[in-house]
Amino acid sequence: MLEREELFARQVGEDTDIVAKELYRFADRDGTQLCLRPEATVPTLRARAAAGNLGAGTVRVWYFGAMFRRERPQRGRYRQFHQFGAEAVGSLSPLLDAEIIMLCARIWRELGVADKLELQVNNLGSADERAAYRKLLQQHLRTRTDDLDEAARARLETNPLRILDSKDEDTLAALADAPEMAEVLGPASRKHVDDVVAMIEDCGVKAIWNPRLVRGLDYYGLTVFEWALPGDERRQSAVAGGGRYDSLAAQIGAADAPGVGFAAGVERLLELADLAVEEQADAYLAVADGAIEPADALRLCESLRNAGLSVIEDLKGGKMKALFRRADQSKASLAVVIGTREAAAKAATIKHLRCSLDQREVGQGDLPAAVKEMLSSGAAATNR
Ligand code: HAM
């Protein structure tokens, strides 16, 4: 989570928000300038170089962890958030860009959010083409400075491409007749991203071209993409983004190696996926007031857990009726209840909560075997 500050300044871009405004930076005791990592692509390349480049072939790695950006906190935008991502380093083939995008699509399907998300793609060309486009865009916008908002005016000389994703209406109007990146792209750049899009569409993933998609980090060339909610909801709703970064490894002083990858925001995905955490368990164990000691109840729970069963232990006590009611409200399959009568007989009552099969009373020593047996008879009954 901690990196040397210098690792990010140049690579992510001195003029990007992520470095200029949002990097948490501070001096270590010996004066070394450290920072909290704002993203993991640059650290991945740093780690790869430190590990001797991990061999000569294409390296595919993944990560999951906390990232930090000093943003204005709001819904879906946090100062500490989590990303998972994957990077494929060592090949210029558009196949890898396509593979990364298909990996995202597969994850969205597994999470049940594929229908909610839209894929936008753009082609940022080569370094030379970007420099040429930068000039064209500057020339155009210098004739329209009156329409530009403060942020866009500040970026006009330092990072004009970032003006393209402005949300300001007047700035957008000034951009309406601006030249497009596509005008400066040579055949090789065109072919690379066209090939990527053809491959993913062949695999059933639809890509929408967005000539304004520039991303918030400066290390990209050729393919860039974002997954977000469609239409107006898109603002601030990107759940994942990525692209190709062929000169980044060399820039951090590592062996030159092209790469492509993505990162997804876990908090944003969770909100979208609406994954309810259900208290599903095999057994709900409840003990009536004064029936057995807490230590004995814990030992019974542990005997069930040792047998591989999941158990929710009810700590509230009360009368038998209340125990069964709470067990019914749980998401468990069986209630295991001990009242004073069961306690005296060193027994427990096991009741099915998901089907109408008969309840049973068993000796406490036989609980694990009896619970397992009733789970399978219950499963058979509900599948019928
Ligand atoms: P990024 O677009 O800056 O890309 O971040 C990726 C995702 O992280 C975003 O789409 C969003 O879901 C989530 N995210 C970013 N900032 C926040 C925040 N403040 N709060 C909550 N979620 C946030 C990168 O970080 C690149 N490293 C992606 C990449 C990998 N490019 C190539 N390889």
Burial per residue of 207-227, b for 16 or more beta-carbon CB atoms within 10 angstroms, e otherwise: beebebbbbbbbbbbbbbbbb
What mean pLDDT do residues 248-271 have?
93
**What are the pLDDT digits (tens) for 36-90?**
999 999 999 999 999 988 887 899 999 999 999 999 999 899 999 999 999 999 9
pLDDT at 53: 85
Neighbours of 200 (CB within 10 A): 24
What mean pLDDT do residues 3-10 have?
88
**Strand partners for 119:** 207, 227
- Say if residue 27's pLDDT is above 80: yes
Helix and strand numbers, DSSP H then E, in the chain:
14, 15
Compute CA distances 375 → 34, 71, 110, 350, whole Å.
55, 50, 28, 10
- Say if residue 277's pLDDT is above 80: no
Task: Report d(CA 19, CA 71) in Å as an integer.
Answer: 11
- Percentages helix, strand, coil for the chain, rounded to the nearest 5? 45, 25, 30
Which pLDDT band, with edges at 50, 70 and 90, does 276 fall under?
A: low
Residue 301 alpha carbon to ligand 1 centre in Å: 43
> Residue 44: CB within 6 Å of ligand 1?
no
Task: Report d(CA 241, CA 84) in Å as an integer.
Answer: 11
Compute CA distances 326 → 166, 313, 315, whole Å.
54, 11, 11
What mean pLDDT do residues 293-322 have?
95
pLDDT at 20: 79
> Residue 268: CB within 6 Å of ligand 1?
yes
- Say if residue 234's pLDDT is above 80: no
pLDDT at 158: 87
Q: Is the pTM of this model over 0.85?
A: no
What mean pLDDT do residues 17-22 have?
82
Q: Take residue 310 and report the two structure tokens written for it.
A: 């999941």
- Say if residue 254's pLDDT is above 70: yes
pLDDT at 278: 62
Residue 67 alpha carbon to ligand 1 centre in Å: 9
The residue whose CA has the least distance to atom 31 of ligand 1 is: 242
What mean pLDDT do residues 229-243 have?
83
Dihedral angle at the C-alpha atoms of 321, 322, 328, 331, nearest 10 degrees?
-150
What residue spans of 6-121 are helical by DSSP H? 6-12, 17-20, 41-50, 94-111
Q: Which of 85, 50, 37, 93 shows the shortest CA–CA distance to 64?
A: 85
What mean pLDDT do residues 242-253 have?
93
Task: Report d(CA 76, CA 78) in Å as an integer.
Answer: 6
What does DSSP assign to residue 165?
A: G
Atom of ligand 1 nearest to the CA of 85: 30
Task: Report d(CA 256, CA 259) in Å as an integer.
Answer: 10
The residue whose CA has the least distance to atom 14 of ligand 1 is: 265
> Residue 69: CB within 6 Å of ligand 1?
yes
The 3-state DSSP class for residue 20 equals helix
Residue 84 alpha carbon to ligand 1 centre in Å: 9
Residue 264 alpha carbon to ligand 1 centre in Å: 6
- Say if residue 235's pLDDT is above 80: no
Rounded to the nearest integer, the mean pLDDT of the chain is: 93
Neighbours of 82 (CB within 10 A): 17
> Residue 242: CB within 6 Å of ligand 1?
yes
> Residue 85: CB within 6 Å of ligand 1?
yes
pLDDT at 279: 63
What mean pLDDT do residues 201-212 have?
96
- Say if residue 137's pLDDT is above 90: yes
pLDDT at 189: 98
> Residue 195: CB within 6 Å of ligand 1?
no
CA angle 207, 208, 212 (to 5 degrees): 130
- Say if residue 232's pLDDT is above 70: no
The 3-state DSSP class for residue 342 equals helix
Compute CA distances 363 → 66, 230, 349, 351, 356, whole Å.
49, 59, 9, 14, 22
pLDDT at 384: 64
The percent of residues above 70 in pLDDT, for the chain, comes to 97
pLDDT at 252: 87
- Say if residue 256's pLDDT is above 80: yes
